Structure 1
Amino acid sequence: MTIWNLGSINIDMVYDVPHLPAPGETLAANGLTRGLGGKGANMSVAAARAGARVAHVGAVGADGRWAVERMMEYGVDTRFIAEVDAPTGHAIISVDAAGENQIVILGGANRALPGDLVGRALSDAAAGDMFLTQNETSVQIEAAQMARDMGLHIAYAAAPFDAEAATAILPFLDLLVLNAVEAEQLQAATGLAPGNLPVSDVIVTLGAEGCRWFGAEGEREFPALKVTAVDTTGAGDTFTGYVAAGLDRGLPMPQAIAQAQRAAAIMVTRHGTADVIPDLKDVQAGL
């Protein structure tokens, strides 16, 4: 099967800082790295490294050609990444000594997808494939409806969170992944707790505490593996990509979550985003 990921592609500018800056504070960084990022690209790379066949649907500007080449090197099908007349999306990321981060994102090309791009991509899809998206691109709702009509399984990572966007896509979803704050915001918008949402499977991530799954078995908690984090950037995307890949490969949800937790735990011990996502061999070998 194939995972069709309508997702963002960003250039990540990551600053190593002594602490996260306060409002009005000018702060000297200890270092800077540039890498491939964006929630969409991160999830595509994670799913590909987890053994799934992944086709990324998205856009970059002329300044992002290197990002497309790098995704291809990581095993992602990049045929449906368009080059548009807009700057490639980018993120300014500050990471402190404890691994916590602060992120500012420019959508750029991610919000300028050609109108026919999703249709051209999904013309190659088959019933039973998975369609994955996040809230960093345009045409998410239209694409989810198209994928649903074609018989694809629909997964959505509700970040960056927007109550209107999340509520609009809910009727099409089979799998929803969101963090605890996003779950509270969605409940405030819909009046529905995670276990009562009209979605077959809902996963609420809890950071260092693990995650909670609401599905066929009711509510089930999965404690996190204990590691020393140096950078939490991209850990949630790694988790989601691994869950999607596990389900695509036929794993039961508990096994897919457990494998994704191991991948995320390894991820937080590394500095960087898409470029340092662990592959399946790393994850199966354990921490």
Structure 2
Amino acid sequence: MTRIAVLGSTNMDLVAYVSKAPGRGETVTGHEFRTIPGGKGANQAVAAARAGGTVSMIGAVGVDAFGSRLRAALEQSGVDTGALRTIEGPSGTAHIVVDDEGGNAIVVIPGANGTVTTLTDDDEAVIARADLLLLQLESPLEGVVSAADVARRHGVRVVLTPSPAQALPAGLLAATDLLVPNEHEAAALTGITEPYEAAEALLEQVPEVVITLGSAGSLYASRDAGKIMVPAQRVTAVDSTGAGDTFVGALSVALGEGRPMPEALAWASSAAALSVQRSGASTAMPYRIEIDELAEQEKQRKHLS
């Protein structure tokens, strides 16, 4: 079974569902509000655990009620929270508006996540035992860089989601094996909006890139194996909030199992397709049996067409 360490954020998602997102200075009436455990780190941990990985979460929650609920939600999905610290102060929150077309806008307040600037000896041991380390950028950059350095020293594959997009230190890029931006993040990192060209530019800094393209699928590029485009399944999106994290979590499990990249990408695409048909982020993430079933259906559909 794939062993995955995740260093990243745990947030309570405060989600307002509206027909149309408000513009600047505009007030609209929503039709539903939910509090849902989330955070990019926690989301990827849950996605990987539900997809069949053995997952450990490194991060921090606050002493508030959100912190207790965030920890419980991870554990209920099978994530080991032994390295998830509890610190004085509030937990992180994400304030999300989801419109009727499944689009979203998000404001993140780091809270406890902002304290994860260094690693403990236990954190380093968790990373050293893993097959893959998943990183994102909702945690302080100092902690992310430290974790990547530990992984590199121990031969652990580093998968980095550069979100929210920002300038990345050369040392972090040097320690990254697989970079997984969406098309907007890829453009922000390179200044290039065309995905194939952006992928080429990113390969100057990392050996492998997967650019997620929403309903268009995903683009894989590597220095050694060229480029592969994998289309997304055609589904009606209800809420796309956690789709990218679902994709990364499932992809990491598939890669840890030694699947070829085209198969791993197709399987991860099935996981993301299932998640966007449900409301919420972590609560919408599918289990392995569901991913296997949809992936097999898609394989049969392509065979018959």
TM-score by length of 2: 0.88
Matched residue, 1:245: 253
Which residue pairs with 2:96 in the alignment? 93
Could you tell me how far 1:254 is from its partner in structure 2?
1.3
The amino acid that maps onto 2:279 is: H
**Cα-Cα RMSD:** 1.7
Letter in structure 2 aligned against 1:69: A
Whether the 8 Å contact between 1:208 and 1:224 is mirrored in structure 2 is yes
Work out whether 1:194 is the aligned partner of 2:199.
yes
Partners of 2:199 and 2:36 in 1: CA distance = 34
Q: Which residue of 2 aligns with 1:226?
A: 234
Cα offsets for 1:184-241 (capped at 9, x unmatched): 121139xx84233332210001111111000232011111110011111100010011
- Tell me how far apart the structure 1 counterparts of residues 99 and 128 of structure 2 sit (CA, whole Å): 44
Are the structure 2 counterparts of residues 37 and 252 from structure 1 closer, same or farther at C-alpha, using a change threshold of 3 Å? same
Q: Do the aligned partners of 1:128 and 1:151 also contact (CA within 8 Å) in 2?
A: no
The one-letter code of the counterpart of 2:63 is A
2:262 corresponding residue in structure 1: 254
| Percent identity over paired residues | 38
What is the match of residue 301 of structure 2?
none
What is aligned with 1:156? 160
CA-to-partner distance for each residue in 1:12-57, whole Å, 9 max, x for gaps? 1111111011000112211101111011111000000111111000
C-alpha distance in structure 2 between counterparts of 1:120 and 1:51, whole Å? 24
Q: Counterpart of 2:191 in 1: which secondary structure?
A: helix
Partner of residue 264 from structure 1, selected from 263, 267, 272: 272
- What pairs up with 1:24-103 in 2 under 5 angstroms? 24-63=25-64, 64-103=67-106
Looking at structure 2, the residues matched to 159 and 81 of structure 1 have their Cα atoms a distance apart, in angstroms, of 21
CA contact (8 A) 1:52 1:249 kept: no
CA distance in 1, matches of 2:84, 2:228: 37
Q: Quick one: distance in 2 between partners of 1:198 and 1:69?
A: 38
Alpha-carbon distance in structure 1 between the residues aligned to 2:43 and 2:258: 22
Corresponding residue for residue 217 of structure 1: 225
The count of residues paired between Structure 1 and Structure 2 equals 283
Q: Distance in 2 between matches of 1:116 and 1:3?
A: 17
> How far apart in 2 are the matches of 1:207 and 1:116?
34
The separation in 1 between residues aligned to 2:167 and 2:151, in whole angstroms, is: 22
Matched letter for residue 243 of structure 2: A
Q: Give the secondary-structure state (helix, strand or coil) at the position aligned to 2:35.
A: strand
Amino acid at match of 1:194: A
Aligned to 2:302: none
| Cα drift, residue 270 of structure 1 | 0.3
Q: If the length of structure 1 is used for normalisation, what is the TM-score?
A: 0.94
CA distance in 2 between counterparts of 1:32 and 1:277 reads: 19
Q: Does 1:281 align with 2:281?
A: no
Query: Residue 206 of structure 1 aligns to which amino acid in structure 2?
Result: L
Residue type of the partner of 1:220? Answer: I
CA distance in 2, matches of 1:128, 1:33: 34
The residue that corresponds to 2:137 in the other structure is 135
Q: CA deviation at 1:144?
A: 0.7
> Could you tell me which residue of structure 1 aligns to residue 211 of structure 2?
204
Report if the CA contact (8 A) 2:3-2:129 is conserved.
no
Structure 1 unaligned segments of length 5 or more: list them. none
Deviation at 1:124, TM superposition (A): 4.0
Q: CA deviation at 1:181?
A: 1.4
Q: Which amino acid aligns with 2:51?
A: A
Q: Are the counterparts in 1 of residues 127 and 133 from structure 2 also a CA contact under 8 Å?
A: no
Counterpart CA distance in 1 for 2:15 and 2:80 is 26
* Distance in 2 (alpha carbons) for counterparts of 1:124 and 1:16: 38
Q: What SS is found at the alignment partner of 1:178?
A: coil
**In the TM superposition, what is the alpha-carbon distance from 1:256 to its structure 2 partner?**
1.1
State whether residues 84 and 113 of structure 1, in contact with CA within 8 Å, keep that contact through their aligned partners in structure 2.
no
